[in-house]
Amino acid sequence: MALTRLQKILADRGVASRRKAEELIQNGHVRVNGHPAKLGDKADDRRDTITVRGKRIQAPPELVYLMLHKPRGYITTLNDENGRKCVAELVKDVGVRVYPVGRLDKDSEGLLFFTNDGAFSNAMMHPTAHVAKRYRVTIRAEVGDEQLACFEQGILIDGKKTLPAEATVVSFEKQTADSPARTVLEVVLYEGRNRQIRKMCEALGLPIVRLKRIAVGTVKLGMLPPGKWRHLEPREVRDLLMAAQIDEKIAAKYIKSGKGSVKYGRSASRR
């Protein structure tokens, strides 16, 4: 049973701010299963009956976990005051409000998770959760062995050395009279610093042409078309939590919860 402090439940359900919710509890306006609540009490908002001034609070929304194939040109935010294209446009048909887990910059593409489960998002984003993130990186140059070794040794960016990463050459095209050399790398990161691969390559003098996230943990982008989304399988959610080193008993519950459909979602029309 997942127990949460009452004031947080009330705030999450839009009843009141957390501070106002505490006042409602202290003034005796909140009941759990018919019993007056006290400040500090916890409840399971999916099983317990919680009322405020005799009115039952709104039921929590269904937990949703999905993956989007983010195209280039979209920023990872829900709205933008400058009118730029946002990833929220591509998941507006999900049926519930979901939020991106982490980010990909405007010029990057690939796998991006969305959810309305704060606990899942926090688990994936926590600094100690070193879930492997795999990228396909196209470089307009030849990449030498010494540069590849730097990824594994760590590279100093923003005054801090990166964790060891994996970098292997997928393909290489030699320079010709008509075009420069071209190398495709597969890079695996175990941390999620802002624009990390771009900054690492910049430090090594490697100009990036294309950057695409192709997998997180055991979840692969696969053949999901750009701009489309699908629900994560319950087992995929469980495996991601296990990769983030979340307690096995907590992760196991996701086998029996969530949506199992892999039907492609409709994306917003391109502008």
Catalytic residues: 105
| Secondary structure class of 188 (helix, strand, coil) | strand
Per-residue tokens: 163: 């964790």
Nearest-angstrom CA–CA distance, 248 and 237: 12
Q: In sequence order, which residues have a C-beta less than 8 Å from that of residue 142 and are 6 or more positions away?
A: 172, 174, 175, 181, 183
Residue 249's alpha-carbon distances to 246, 255, 256, in angstroms, are: 9, 11, 12
Beta carbons within 10 angstroms of residue 26's beta carbon: 12
* Nearest Cα residue to 231 out of 256, 195, 183, 264: 264
Nearest-angstrom CA–CA distance, 212 and 159: 26
DSSP 74-120: -BSSS--TT---BGGGGGTTSSS--EEES---TT-EEEEEEES-HHH
Nearest-angstrom CA–CA distance, 153 and 162: 8
* Nearest Cα residue to 179 out of 145, 146, 209: 209
Q: In sequence order, what are the beta bridge partners of 51?
A: 31, 56
Nearest-angstrom CA–CA distance, 181 and 105: 25
